[in-house]
C-alpha cells in the first residue's frame, strides 16, 4: 500500500510542476521534471520511508544519518541548488554554490510550489513556499545571485499570488530568456 501511495504522491507532485511549468512556457522542463524519482534507487527507498506529509528522504535521513535517495536525486536534477555545489577556486578552494541557469531557478521555484501543495494539501497558501524557504535558508549553500532570484519569486508569490507571479515569469523572464536587471 505504501508503494501505491508513494507513487500517487510522486505523480501528484510531478503533475503540479508540469502544470505550472506549462503555464509559463517551460514545456520540456515540465515533462522531464523529477524522472529520477521513478528509478528503483529512489523509488524503493521512497516506498520504505513514505509517510505522506513530508519527503521520505527526511525519514531515511533520520533513520540512517543520510539519504541515499536524496544523494541520487540531487545529483541528477539540475533544478536543485545542491546540484550546483562545487569547489570555488577563486575563493581559496572553498565549497560554494555556483550560479544556476535561469531555467533551473524557475524550475526550482515551481518545484517548491508543488512540494508545498503536495505535502500541505488544503493548508497550502501562496505564502507556504516562502515560509519553508525561510526555515531552511541559513543552511543553503547557494550562489548569491541564485538566492536573490529565488527570493524575488517567493516573495512575489506570497504578496501577489500565482497568477501575477507566473505572468511576470512569462513576460519578463521567459520572453527575454534572461533575468531582468535590478
> Which region among 7-11, 90-94, 146-150, 168-172 has the lowest average model confidence (pLDDT)?
90-94
pLDDT exceeds 90 at position 84: yes
DSSP class of 76: T
DSSP element (H, E) containing 87: strand 85-88
| Share above pLDDT 90 across residues of the chain, in percent, rounded to a whole number | 90
Quick one: residue 93, left, alpha or beta (phi over 0 = left, psi -120 to 50 = alpha)?
A: left
Treating both helix axes as pointing N-terminal to C-terminal, what angle do 2-24 and 144-168 enclose, rounded to 10 degrees? 80
pLDDT of residue 91: 81
**What pTM was estimated for this model as a whole?**
0.94
Residue 152: pLDDT band with limits 50, 70, 90: very high
pLDDT exceeds 70 at position 182: no
Residue 179, SS3?
coil
b/e code 79-100 from CB counts within 10 Å (16+ = b): bbbebbbeeeeeeeeeebbeeb
Backbone angles phi, psi at 178, to 5 degrees: -160, 165
Domain residue ranges in the chain: 78-174
The mean predicted confidence, pLDDT, of the chain is 95
pLDDT of residue 93: 87
| Share above pLDDT 70 across residues of the chain, in percent, rounded to a whole number | 98
DSSP element (H, E) containing 108: helix 102-120
Mean pLDDT for the stretch of residues 64-75: 97
pLDDT exceeds 60 at position 96: yes
Amino acid at each position: 500500500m505504501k508503494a501505491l501511495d508513494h507513487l500517487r504522491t510522486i505523480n501528484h507532485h510531478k503533475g503540479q510542476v508540469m502544470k505550472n511549468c506549462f503555464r509559463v512556457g517551460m514545456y520540456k522542463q515540465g515533462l522531464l521534471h523529477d524522472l529520477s524519482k521513478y528509478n528503483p534507487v529512489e523509488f524503493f527507498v521512497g516506498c520504505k520511508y513514505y509517510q505522506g506529509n513530508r519527503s521520505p528522504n527526511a525519514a531515511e535521513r533520520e533513520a540512517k544519518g543520510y539519504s541515499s535517495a536524496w544523494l541520487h536525486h540531487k545529483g541528477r536534477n539540475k533544478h536543485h541548488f545542491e546540484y550546483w555545489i562545487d569547489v570555488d577556486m577563486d575563493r581559496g578552494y572553498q565549497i560554494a554554490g555556483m550560479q544556476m541557469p535561469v531555467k533551473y531557478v524557475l524550475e526550482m521555484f515551481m518545484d517548491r510550489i508543488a512540494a508545498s501543495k503536495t505535502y500541505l494539501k488544503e493548508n497550502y497558501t501562496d505564502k507556504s513556499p516562502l515560509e519553508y524557504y525561510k526555515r531552511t535558508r541559513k543552511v543553503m549553500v547557494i550562489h548569491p545571485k541564485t538566492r536573490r532570484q529565488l527570493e524575488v519569486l517567493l516573495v512575489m508569490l506570497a504578496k501577489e499570488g500565482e497568477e501575477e507571479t507566473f505572468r511576470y515569469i512569462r513576460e519578463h523572464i521567459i520572453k527575454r530568456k534572461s533575468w531582468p536587471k535590478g
